[in-house]
């Protein structure tokens, strides 16, 4: 597992979720564009609220790294997610969000680095880690010839539930996500939004400690999104932890209490929502971090209409 890796600034975990913006020292030659230097300032200075006892860390990612040939997809990322938190990973397209989440869930082997979920190393002791993780991957198929109910039952069996638990949870999740009427239809007949919902149900059926959700609300309608968020908030309120990625800043701002901004495989800002966004909206802060608006030049012809 140990491989030569660029000097990592921090290996010991600080108390707060605060690895400062880390400079990708001399790496990322194949990265699409150099991260702007303006974005390197540490996130807005808000002193961490002095809480006596922060909740325990549930997901701990240390120096996680993944390269594809000369392209560095994920560049020594550190993340710390605490119990009861709704942690949002945001970033532009191709920033490495999905790669990071896949390595956290055991779907993609990292080149180096460690992932601890509830104390178990995902890559040393996968069975223990996967028992407590619920996964919703992006753009992966389901066994779509199964009906929704069969799929949820199947997922329950894979996670070692017994028959009656799997069945009753299937019903509960169906009602909670508003898909109880479609559970007896094959998943292949579902719309994209319904597929997301059944996937969310499948991720939750074994009542994991941690939910890792990749773009859980993409193509889900607002009503269903609210339903799902209610469900997730109830889950975190009772001690569950959610790690999700999204493009939708407004949504992340609404539901997440902590945020990490990932650009070109590096964490540019991380902390509580207020720490990251400062006085701005999350979207403004994100655009600033991700490289700002590039002035559109060379498209003058677009402003002179042909007729």
Partner 1 sequence: MVDHILRLKLALLGSAFRGAASAVRALLVLVLAGGVGAALILLAREVQVDRADHRAALIIVASAIALGIVVAPLSAGLGSALEPRRFAAFPVPRGQLALGLMLAGVIGIPGALAVTLGIAFEIAWADTDKAGLAILAGVIGAIVLVMVSQYLVAVTAQLAVSSAAVRMITAAARLTIALALGAAAMAVLLVQSGDDTEGLIEVASVVAATPLGFLWAAPGGVDAEIAWRLFGGAVAVAALVAAWPWVVSRIVEAPQRIRSAPAIRGLGWFDLVPATASAAIAARSLLYWTRDARYRAVIIALPVAPALMMVALALAGAPVPLLWLIPVPVFALFLGWFSHNDVAYDHSAMWMHVAAPLRGFSDRWGRVVPPLLIGTPLILLASPLAALWSEVPDVYPAVVGTGLGLLLTGLGVSSVSSALTPYPAARPGAGPWDQPPLIGAAAGWVQSFTLLAILAFMSPSLTLAVMGLLDEDPEMLELAGWAGGATGFGMLVLGILIGGFVFRRRAPELLGLLMRT
Listed in order, strand segments (DSSP E) in 16-104 are: 57-68, 71-82, 86-90
Backbone angles phi, psi at 246, to 5 degrees: -160, 155
Helix (H, G, I), strand (E, B) or coil at 103: helix
Which residue's CB is nearer to partner 1, number 9 or number 188? Answer: 188
Which residue's CB is nearer to partner 1, number 74 or number 259? Answer: 74
Kindly state whether residue 163 participates in binding partner 1, applying the rule CB under 8 A: yes
Tokens of 63: 């120096």
- Interacting positions 132-161 with partner 1 (CB under 8 A): 133, 135, 137, 139-147, 149-150, 153-155, 157-161
Binding mask 86-105 for partner 1 (x = CB under 8 A): -------------------x
Using CB under 8 A as the binding criterion, the count of chain residues that bind partner 1 stands at 41
Kindly state whether residue 209 participates in binding partner 1, applying the rule CB under 8 A: no
Q: Give least dist CB 232 to partner 1, A.
A: 18
Compute the distance between CA of residue 210 and CA of residue 57 in angstroms, rounded to an integer. 11
Which residue's CB is nearer to partner 1, number 156 or number 271? Answer: 156
Compute the distance between CA of residue 223 and CA of residue 193 in angstroms, rounded to an integer. 11
Compute the distance between CA of residue 5 and CA of residue 300 in angstroms, rounded to an integer. 45
Which residue's CB is nearer to partner 1, number 17 or number 105? Answer: 105
Q: Give least dist CB 154 to partner 1, A.
A: 5
Following DSSP, what letter does each residue of 234-278 receive, concatenated? HHHHTT-EEEEEES-HHHHHHH-SEEEEEETTEEEEEEEHHHHHT
Compute the distance between CA of residue 278 and CA of residue 26 in angstroms, rounded to an integer. 29
Binding mask 176-195 for partner 1 (x = CB under 8 A): --------xxx-xx------
Q: Give least dist CB 162 to partner 1, A.
A: 6
Backbone angles phi, psi at 299, to 5 degrees: -115, 35
CA distances from 293 to 151, 227, 288 (A): 44, 34, 8
- Interacting positions 50-79 with partner 1 (CB under 8 A): none
Which residue's CB is nearer to partner 1, number 199 or number 236? Answer: 199
Kindly state whether residue 202 participates in binding partner 1, applying the rule CB under 8 A: yes
Backbone angles phi, psi at 75, to 5 degrees: -115, 90
Other C-beta atoms lying within 10 Å of the C-beta of residue 3: 9
Compute the distance between CA of residue 157 and CA of residue 31 in angstroms, rounded to an integer. 42
Q: Give least dist CB 96 to partner 1, A.
A: 16
Which residue's CB is nearer to partner 1, number 21 or number 128? Answer: 128
Q: Give least dist CB 185 to partner 1, A.
A: 6
Binding residue (CB under 8 A) for partner 1 from 16, 18, 44, 108 = 108
CA distances from 150 to 134, 160, 249 (A): 18, 15, 34
Which residue's CB is nearer to partner 1, number 166 or number 263? Answer: 166
Which residue's CB is nearer to partner 1, number 103 or number 263? Answer: 103
**Which parts of this chain interact with partner 1 (CB under 8 A)?**
105-109, 126-128, 130-131, 133, 135, 137, 139-147, 149-150, 153-155, 157-163, 166, 184-186, 188-189, 202
């Amino acid at each position: 597992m140990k491989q030569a890796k660029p000097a990592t600034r921090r290996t010991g975990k600080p108390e707060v979720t605060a690895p400062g913006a880390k400079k990708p020292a001399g790496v990322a030659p194949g990265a699409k564009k150099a991260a702007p230097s303006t974005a390197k300032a540490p996130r807005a200075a808000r002193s961490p609220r002095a809480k006596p006892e922060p909740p325990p860390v549930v997901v701990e990612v240390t120096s996680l790294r993944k390269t594809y040939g000369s392209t560095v997809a994920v560049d020594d990322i550190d993340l710390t997610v605490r119990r009861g938190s709704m942690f949002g990973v945001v970033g532009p397209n191709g920033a490495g969000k999905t790669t990071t989440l896949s390595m956290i869930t055991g779907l993609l082997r990292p080149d180096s680095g460690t992932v601890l979920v509830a104390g178990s190393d995902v890559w040393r002791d996968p069975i223990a880690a996967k028992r407590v993780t619920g996964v919703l991957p992006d753009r992966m198929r389901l066994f779509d010839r199964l009906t929704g109910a069969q799929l949820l039952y199947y997922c329950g069996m894979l996670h070692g539930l017994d028959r009656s638990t799997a069945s009753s949870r299937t019903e509960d999740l169906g009602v909670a996500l508003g898909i109880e009427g479609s559970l007896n239809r094959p998943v292949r007949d579902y719309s994209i939004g319904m597929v997301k919902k059944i996937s969310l149900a499948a991720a939750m059926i074994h009542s994991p400690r941690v939910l890792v959700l990749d773009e859980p609300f993409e193509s889900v309608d607002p009503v269903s999104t609210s339903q799902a968020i209610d469900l997730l908030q109830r889950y975190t309120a009772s001690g569950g932890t959610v790690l999700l990625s999204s493009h939708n800043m407004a949504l992340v701002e609404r539901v997440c209490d902590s945020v990490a901004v990932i650009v070109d495989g590096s964490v540019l800002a991380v902390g509580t929502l207020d720490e990251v966004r400062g006085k701005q909206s999350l979207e403004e802060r994100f655009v600033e971090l991700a490289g700002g608006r590039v002035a559109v030049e060379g498209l003058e012809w677009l402003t002179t209409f042909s007729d």
